[in-house]
Structures are given as structure tokens and as C-alpha cells.
Chain A
Amino acid sequence: MLSPERLALPDYEYLAQRHVLTYMEDAVCQLLENKEDISQYGVARFFTEYFNSVCQGTHILFREFSFIQATPHNRASFLRAFWKCFRTVGKNGDLLTMREYHCLLQLLCPDFPLELTQKAARIVLMDDAMDCLMSFSDFLFAFQIQFYYSEFLESVAAIYQDLLAGKNPNTVIVPTSSSGQHRQRPPLGEASVLEGVEASLFSQCLENLCDRHKYSCPPPALVKEVLSNVQRLTFYGFLVALSKHHGINQALGALPDKGDLMHDPAMDEELERLLAQVPGLVNSAPANPEAGCLPSRTPPRVGSPWRPLHHARKVDAESDGSTEETDESET
């Protein structure tokens, strides 16, 4: 409690760094908005649920974009939620356009801005032919980099432009103009002939950037690793490398590795259960009630699955008949 690090930061800043205040504010705000409903079962329970959901990463579902963007944890949770929900789309092998991915994003966040999706698409398509189809995994990883590190990437873009123009932000401008110019000239010459910028120079600038700014940026070591492999690289080349780097992905912790991207046994089981409920499906295997049960507090589920497809499904609030999926099996 009395650790020196803690005491080193003033209280407010400490709280801010951990984003505690963001969540507290949001919690109180939610409380205010839904006070009639929440007052039914108590404020304490509300706070419990709220912070539980924050821990689980479900708090960002269907929330406005400003909230989702507010903290790194939110962003990571959102990425994970997106992956979870639409992994099946990727598994199906469909290649979709940028707009369609944006649509899917909007299903989870109604006011998600198009620019972000566009920037992510640019990374995948290397800033070319924006109407091209993209695979789910390509898009997802590029989107991850773009969304999670969006501020970082903006600064990187600025630096890149500067480097391209020949201005080295690291250069200290000595009053005697000649020496400053001397130092600057070689990179200028190279940049105009070859594409992109020199990797080492770029790496230096990025290191300084990471040191200077407080918002999240990829682990500097890994960035250095990415840049050490090549001599020269373009902006989008750099981003693509970032997106495909396993280490960065793992450091982020939101998404599984590329190889495991389509695997999610828990959800797959759940899906099987749901599929079994599609009417008319001649699936003899009864749904496994233990796997991924719905919590007991959800209202009663859809009734028997064995009704023919084209009858009007008037589902009663209470399920009729005793099929395997009655509530008895739930805890």
C-alpha cells in the first residue's frame, strides 16, 4: 500500500493512468440512465455486474464509439468481441469489401466511424484499389493495429511524411545552417531515389516517439525487431509488418494467433446447439444442455425445434412441452 511507486504519482494521475475514473464515471452515468430499472434490484448488484462485465470485456457491446475508444482495455475488448462474433464469417471463407466489414462493425457499435475502417482497409490493400475484397484474418489484424494504436499510427504517419520530405525530426538544428543542412542532405538524396524511408532512421524516430508519449504504443523492442529486418520500407509496408507480427498480437492480448484465429471450441459448441434449434433440421443429436448454458435469468427460450419451417411461429412466453432444453437442466 505504501509502495514508493504509488506515492510517486499524485493521486489523480494514478487513477487516470489506470483509467479507473473512466469506468467509475461511466458506471455512474449508466446508473443514472437506467435508475428505474436498476432500482428494482439494487445498486450494489449493479456495480457488481458492471465491473464484472468490464473484467470480462463485454461492457463495450452496443456502446457508443466514444466509450469504446476511451481506454486501451475497451479497445482490446472490442476487438475480442468482434472476433468472437464474426469468426464464423471468416471461417465460412467469404471475402468481403471494406464497407461490409464496416457494416459488421456497426452491428456492434452503431456509430463506428468509417474512417477507421477505411484506414484499416488501406493497410490490407496497401493503399490500393479500395474496393477489393479482403479476407477476415487480414482485415482483423490490420484493424487491430489501426484501432488499438490509432494515435500512435497518426504520429508515425507524420514522422514518415517528414522523413520522406527529408526533414529529420531528430536532427538538432545547429544555428550554423550549413552543418544542419549537411546532415540532412544524404537522407534527402536517398529518399527521392528509393521508395520509403531508411529503416534505421525510422526506427530511431519511433523510439523517441514511444518514449515521449504516454498513450499506448507497441512494445518498442518489437517495433525495433520489425524494422531491423529490412533496409527500407514504406509506411504501409511498416503497418502490414506490424499487423502480421505475432509478438505484437500477443502483447496486445486481444486476439489469438493467426493460426488459431478460427478456433473457438466453446463458441463452436454453442453454435452447434443453436443450429440444432433451427426448425426442420433433421439432426438427431440432441443439443448438449451443459455446454454454454444461458444464464438462468434470461427469459424462457424458444420452444420446441421440431416445428415445420413455414408455420407462423407463435412462441409462448412459457415453453410448452418438455424437450431436452427446458430450464431444468440449467443451474
Chain B
Amino acid sequence: MIPGKYRSVSGRAANNVNCGLHLVIQTSSLPEKSKVEFKLNKETPSFSGRLLQHDLERNYSSRQGDHIHLASSSMPSFPILQRSSEEKILYSDRLTLERQKLTVCPIIDGEEHLRLLNFQHNFITRIQNISNLQRLIFLDLYDNQIEEISGLSTLRSLRVLLLGKNRIKQISNLENLKSLDVLDLHGNQITKIENVSHLCDLRVLNLARNLLSHVDNLNGLDSLTELNLRHNQITFVRDVDNLPCLQRLFLSFNNISTFESVCCLADSSSLSDITFDGNPIAQESWYKHTILQNMMQLRQLDMKRVTEEERRMASVVAKKEEEKKRESHKQSLLKEKKRLTINNVARKWDLQQHRIPNIAPNQDRKVSDSSQDPSQLHGSTVSAFPEETGSLDSGLANALQGLSVTDTHLVEVDGDTLSLYGSGALESLDRNWSVQTAGMVTTVSFTFIEFDEIVQVLPKLKIKFPNSLHLKFKETNLVMLQQFNALAQLRRVDQLTIDPQGNPVVNFTLWKYYVLFRLSHFSMQKINGTEVTQNDMIMAERLFGILAHVASSELPQYRMISILGDARKKQFRYLLETKGKKPGLVNEENNDSKRLVGENTNRAMLNYTTRDVYNERLEEIKEKKKFCKMYMEDLVKEATEINMKNEALQKLWPQMFIELVRDAVIEIRNKNSYMKLCLQQITDQK
């Protein structure tokens, strides 16, 4: 602070210069009115000079009215200042010319000892005519119209330079002022900090109320203790850690919004006092504790003391923030990984779907024995696959097979939803799920998995996730109504969502009714998001009820048993395969299947066997069929032989009969010889 005495001399109440410096110069009180006289060049007075003279003469009563004399000078427009010798002796080291309506710096003659020069509140536009005052220590040009710093190159002893409230656009021409202690440039139009690196003794730098947009270039200011940057447009601060002595930094009323833009402050160990009020950052919820956490050395923030309590709170909160950030980072990493995996699975799936037609055109198309390839139903009609694209796809497919795929499937449990992507994910059902996790799962979503593969794991699903009530299928290649039969084996399904993407079955008009019909024992509530109404159930029954009736009542008994038996056999086979099978579990399954038989027997006939299993079975039967054929042929041969013999016998019989009778009659013609013959035969027998 400028000592009060001096302040009163300058006549200003407010002083924007916040110097923490105690001026070495001791001043004695000066009278209010100046005892200085002015000598003006009368001969060629400038306009302003003339005016000045008038004003002077009007406003200032000079006691030494006779002492004013105007001397001519070589400079046309500059007034020449001369003081009376008494004043020179009294105030030899200081000169106050404030509020003199000066527009130019007058030539000051014969005052080479001057140490303090005050030009406050004038209209000076250029610093001139003071080069000879080489002892000057204190120069005050506050509140003028100076546009450029210049004319100071000889003032090597200058220690305080006050240039506030001018029109300076640039910091320059301070090269020789190496002893500068206080530099006040507030209230100007400076846009950049520059040309100050040589001021190694500078202790106070005031750049408030300028047009600075950022702070850097602060190296070299090794003594700087206070830096005032209030009321600028600063968005980021750099290089502050290069200031080894900086204690106070005022950044109020700027444009700082993040801590990162001022992060260099954390590295400054000397800082003890900082203000950020009036910045956007001060409005943030995390402002105080972030600053305190990062700047442990602070003693005052926004002109208020930092208490221990606040510091503690800050560190706690900061730790929590760190945790949260880490968590969210982890989450986003996971999400990204998940997204990549799903993309991977999708690509693989598409490849699969397009790869299958490569085989189809090569198959022999015979009407009688071509087995239906479900992939042919996928997408376009059968005739649409030309050989060329088929071979191209296979080439591409082979090339892509060479790529290493990191993740081929994804399993995710998210609260109540279990999501499975890719056929590899089905194996995860074998894992040991905790009862709690498994119990919470109510929705199971399948994506990019062939429905036939899903069918095979449905028993597992039933056991491991007993509460799953909502099934979702997307890109699962559902093409036939029949496939819905497979869902009947589950315990209960409340909702079913079949995404049209990748599931051609949704294009059928009757698919929903079929589902409702076949799975009526589930009393489903929603299909694809729409509620199931009573009318839907009735319509389903109306459309397919007879099918069920025919299936149950008109099938012969052995067929029914064999079909049902298959279902039961499948269940038992699965149970035998699972590890840790307990007898209790088996009984439960027994009851389950009994119940299955009990409900909807008429629909139980409608099963679904996957294509592969079906073909396998047909293959197995082929052997039997061959055997049967051979067996029948043998039987037929036998039968025809017997038939032939029978017919032959029929033809020959009359003849044979006659001959038999004839032979018998001939034998008995002679009664006596016949009797003898018989008796002999009897004795022979013995």
C-alpha cells in the first residue's frame, strides 16, 4: 500500500494499485495546492498549451505570480516546466503534476535529482521528455491516455511504475527497467503478457481489468509475490509454477471453468492466497474441495481462511469423486468391450447366414427325397442364388475365417435380465450360478443364436433359472410355427418377444395365434409388447383347436405313447447328463413330466424336433426299414410259395384223392389177405 500520506497528495480516494510494498521514499506532507509554477512558451503556444495557461492562471493561484515567466524553447509544443528555487530545495526529489490538464509531458528542466514524479489524472498520450530524470524511482502516470509504453529506456533506477487506467495495448519497452519492483498496468487494453521476463526484481504485477485471455510467459519473474489478474477474460493459466515466490494470485472475475485449466497452480508450492470468485468454476459443486484438495498449501481462498475442517472434507469428497470416476471409467470400458463383442458376434452371425447358401445350390434337387433346408426359407426364394455369388461368399468366408476373433459370444446378467449373444454363450448356462443371481433373473434374451441350438438348452434353462418368465428372441432364425412347440417344455412363460429382425416367422399372419394356442397352458400375458386379450385366446383356439383335437384323439395309442415317450426320454437323458444329480431332483422331474402329460395332452403331441435330430432319426430308421423290407420279402416269398403250393394242391387234389381211394379199395379187395397183412404189420411193430 502506498503510504497514506502520499495518497492524500494524489487526491484520490480509491487506489487500484495493491502494492504490498512499503515505499522506501519517505515523504513529508505536502500542501494541498501546488506551489509549482509553470513557465510556458508564449511565442508559439500550442492550442492546449494556451488553454493550459489559461486554466493554470485561472485555477491555480500562484503565490509567486510574478515568478511565472514563459521561456522560449526549441520544442514548439512542449511546455517547459520550471520551479522556483525555493521549492526546488524544499521538495527536491518529488514533483506532483496531477490534474494539470496536461496533454503532453512537459520538459522538466534542471531537476535531475528528481526521484518521484506524479502525472496522475491528466490527458497525456505519450511518455516523453523524462529521459533526463535518470534518478527517477517512482513514476505515476495513472489515469491518462497513454497508448504505448515508451520513453522509459533511460530510467534505469525506476522501481515503481504506475500506468493504470490508460490505453496501453501492449507491454513493451521495459527492457532497461531491471530494478522494477512494482508494475501497475491495470485498466488498460493489454491482451498478452510479454516482455517481462527480465524483470527479476518485480514483486507486484497488476494486470487487472485488461483483455488477457490466458496467462503464460511468466518465466523470469523470480521475485514476483503478487499477481493481480482480476477482471480479465482468462480461460487458462500456465507457467505459474515457474514463479518461485508467488504468494498471492487474484483471478477473480475471469472465465475459468475447469480445474485443468489452472492445474499448474497445484505445483506452485509458494502460493498461499488465491481468489476465483466470479469465475464459472466457482459455481460448480465440486469447486471448493477440488481446489483445496489439489492445493494443499493454500491458506486463504477467496479472501477467506481455509480451515482444517474444510481441508479434511475436501480430501474426503475428492477421494469419493476419484472412486466414482474410476468406477464410471471401468463401466464405460466394459460397455465398450460389450459393444465390440456384440458387433463381433453380429458379424459372425451374418457370415453364417450368408455362408449357408453356398451349400444349397450344390444339393441335388429331387422332389421326392430332398430334405427341407431351413436356411432356404431364410430370405429370398430358392431360385435366387446364382452360382457366382455363392462361390464369392465362400471365398470371403474362408478369408474371414483366418481372422482371429477374440470374443465370440457374450453373456451378461443385468439385474433381472440375462442376455446371451452368440451360440457360444449357451455354454454359460452350465456355469454354477449363485442361487440369488439365478433367482433374480426374470428375462432371458437370446440374440444371434440359432433357435435350434436354443431348443437343446431349454431344459437347462428351466432348471437353472426357474424364475425366467419373459423370453426374447432376436436374430435367432425362427422360420416355422413348429419351432414354437419347443417352448412348451418350459415351466412357465409370461411374455414372449420375437423381434422381427432375423426371425422371418413374424411375417406370418397367424404366428401369434399359433403361439397362444400351443402355449395356452402358460396363460401368456404379452406377446411382443401387446397384451393378450380374451379374443386372441378364442381366435387361437378357433383356428387351431381342431388340430389339437385331431392330434390327440385320432392318433393311434402307440403313436401317442411313442411321441410322448420321446419327450420324456429327452428329459431323462438330460438329467442323466447333469452332474450332481440328486434323487430328489429326479422325482421332481418325474412329477413335472407327469404334469406335462396331464395338461393339454391334446397339444402335447405337437412337438418340435430340430432339423438335425430329425434327420438323424430318419437315418437310424433307414437300417430298420431295410431290415423290415427284407423280412417282408422273405415272408412274402414264403407266403407266395405256400400260396403256389396251395393252388397246385388245389389243382392236383381231385386226382390225388381219386388215386388214394383207388389204392385203398385195391388193397381191401381181398378181405382175407388184407387181414393177414394187417396182423403181420402189428406183430412186426412190436
B334 at the interface (CB under 8 A from A): no
B543 touches which one: A89, A111, A310 (CB < 8 A)? A89
Question: Could you tell me the distance in whole angstroms from the C-beta of A77 to the nearest C-beta in chain B?
Answer: 11
Asked if A230 is at the interface (CB within 8 A of a chain B CB), the reply is no
B599's partner among A24, A267, A280, A315 (CB-CB below 8 A) is A315
Q: Cβ of A46: which chain B residues have Cβ within 8 Å of it? A: 558
Which chain A residues lie closer than 8 Å to B547 at the CB level?
85-86, 107
Interface CB pairs A-B, < 8 A, 24 = A11-B639, A12-B640, A28-B631, A29-B625, A29-B628, A33-B562, A37-B561, A53-B556, A58-B555, A62-B605, A69-B368, A87-B546, A100-B510, A106-B372, A113-B367, A114-B376, A114-B382, A271-B542, A275-B541, A298-B552, A300-B598, A309-B523, A311-B523, A317-B594
B624 within 8 A of A: yes
Q: Considering only CB atoms and an 8 Å cut-off, how many residues of chain A contact the other chain?
A: 88
Chain B, range 514-560, C-beta contacts under 8 Å to A: 520-521, 523, 525, 534, 537-539, 541-560
Residues on A with C-beta less than 8 A from B381 are: 118, 130
B369 within 8 A of A: yes
B607-659 with Cβ < 8 A to chain A: 609, 614, 618, 621, 624-625, 627-629, 631-632, 635-636, 639-640, 643-644, 647, 650
Counting CB contacts under 8 A, is A201 at the interface? no
For A59, what are the chain B residues with a Cβ–Cβ distance below 8 Å? 556
| Interface residue B595 (Cβ < 8 Å from any Cβ of A) | yes
Contacts of A292 in B (CB 8 A): 549, 553
Using a CB–CB cutoff of 8 Å, the interface residues on chain B facing chain A are 365, 367-372, 376-377, 381-382, 480-482, 492, 504-505, 507-510, 520-521, 523, 525, 534, 537-539, 541-563, 565, 594-595, 597-601, 605-606, 609, 614, 618, 621, 624-625, 627-629, 631-632, 635-636, 639-640, 643-644, 647, 650
Residues of A within 8 A of B538 (CB): 275, 278, 281
Q: How far is the CB of A278 from chain B (nearest CB, A)?
A: 5
Is the pair A12, B508 in contact by a Cβ cutoff of 8 Å? no
The residue among B555, B556, B597, B605 with the most chain A CB atoms within 10 A of its own CB is B556
Chain B proximity mask over A6-45: 1 for CB below 8 Å, otherwise 0: 0100011001000001001110111011100110010000
Q: Report yes or no: B595 in contact with A96, Cβ–Cβ below 8 A.
A: no
The 6 A-B residue pairs with the shortest CB-CB distance in the complex, in nearest-first order: A11-B640, A317-B598, A315-B599, A274-B545, A49-B556, A85-B547
Q: Which of B509, B558, B614 contacts A38 (CB 8 A)?
A: B558
Contact between chains at A92 and B605 (CB < 8 Å)? no
Q: Check: A103 CB closer than 8 A to any chain B CB.
A: yes
Q: Are B632's CB and A267's CB within 8 A? A: no
| Chain B residues with CB under 8 A of A41 | 557
Residues on the A chain within 8 Å of B510, using CB: 89, 94, 96, 100
CB contacts (< 8 Å) of A21 on chain B: these are: 632, 636
Contact B549 A270 (CB under 8 A): yes
Partner of B523, one of A104, A302, A310: A310
Given contacts A84-B550, A107-B606, 14 further A-B contacts (CB under 8 A): A12-B640, A33-B562, A34-B565, A38-B558, A92-B539, A106-B482, A111-B614, A274-B549, A275-B538, A295-B553, A298-B552, A302-B600, A310-B523, A315-B595
- Chain B residue at minimal CB-CB distance from A318: B598
Residue with the greatest number of chain B CB neighbours at <10 A, chosen from A37, A46, A107, A281? A107
Cβ contacts under 8 Å, B509 to chain A: 94-96, 100
Q: Is A180 an interface residue (CB 8 A)?
A: no
Which residues on A sit within 8 Å (CB–CB) of B382?
114-115, 118
| Structural contact, B534 and A309, CB atoms closer than 8 A | yes
B581 to chain A, nearest CB (A): 23
Residue of B nearest to A115 (CB): B367
Asked if B545 and A107 make an inter-chain contact with CB atoms under 8 angstroms apart, the answer reads no
A299 touches B598 (CB 8 A): yes
* Chain A residue with Cβ nearest B560: A298
Say yes or no for A313: interface residue by CB 8 A criterion: yes
A172 CB-CB contact with B under 8 Å: no
Task: List chain A residues, Cβ under 8 A from B635.
Answer: 24
How far apart sit A87 and B549, CA to CA, in the bound complex (Å)? 13
**Contacts known (A25-B632, A274-B549, A298-B601); A34 close to B558, Cβ less than 8 A:** yes
**Binary B-proximity of A106-140 (CB < 8 A = 1, otherwise 0):** 11001111111010000000000010000000000
**In the bound complex, CA of A111 to CA of B508 (Å):** 19
Residues in B neighbouring A278, C-beta threshold 8 A: 520, 537-538, 541
With both beta carbons as reference points, the residue of chain A lying nearest to B368 in the complex is identified as A69
- Is there an interface contact between B523 and A52, defined as CB atoms closer than 8 Å? no
* Distance, CA A61 to CA B541, complexed state (A): 20
Q: Is A279 an interface residue (CB 8 A)?
A: yes
The answer to whether the Cβ of A297 comes within 8 Å of any Cβ in the partner chain is: yes
Interface pair B562/A34, CB less than 8 Å apart: yes
Is A246 close to B, CB under 8 A? no
Contact of A281 among B534, B554, B563 (CB under 8 A): B534
A115 touches B370 (CB 8 A): yes
Given contact pairs A99-B508, A107-B482, A271 touches B546 in the complex (Cβ within 8 A): yes
Known contacts A106-B482, A113-B372; A312 and B549 CB within 8 A of each other = no
**Counting CB contacts under 8 A, is A64 at the interface?**
yes
In the complex, A81 has a CB within 8 A of chain B? yes
In the assembled complex, the Cα of A111 lies from the Cα of B542 at a distance in Å of 26
Cβ-based interface call for A50 (8 A): yes
Pairwise interchain contact A280-B636, C-beta atoms closer than 8 A: no
Interface residues of A in 50-95 (CB under 8 A from B): 50, 52-53, 56, 58-59, 61-62, 64, 66, 69, 81, 84-89, 92, 94-95
Query: Is the Cβ of A299 less than 8 Å from the Cβ of B629?
Result: no
**Residue picked from B492, B553, B559, most chain A C-beta under 10 Å:** B559
Q: Closest CB of chain B to A93's CB: distance in Å?
A: 11
B496: shortest Cβ distance to chain A, in Å? 15
In Å, the complex CA distance between A281 and B535 comes to 9
* Chain B residues with CB under 8 A of A211: none
| A150 in contact (CB, < 8 A) | yes
Q: Are B628 and A299 in contact (CB under 8 A)?
A: no
> What is the chain B residue whose CB lies nearest that of A314?
B595
Contacts of A313 in B (CB 8 A): 521, 523, 599
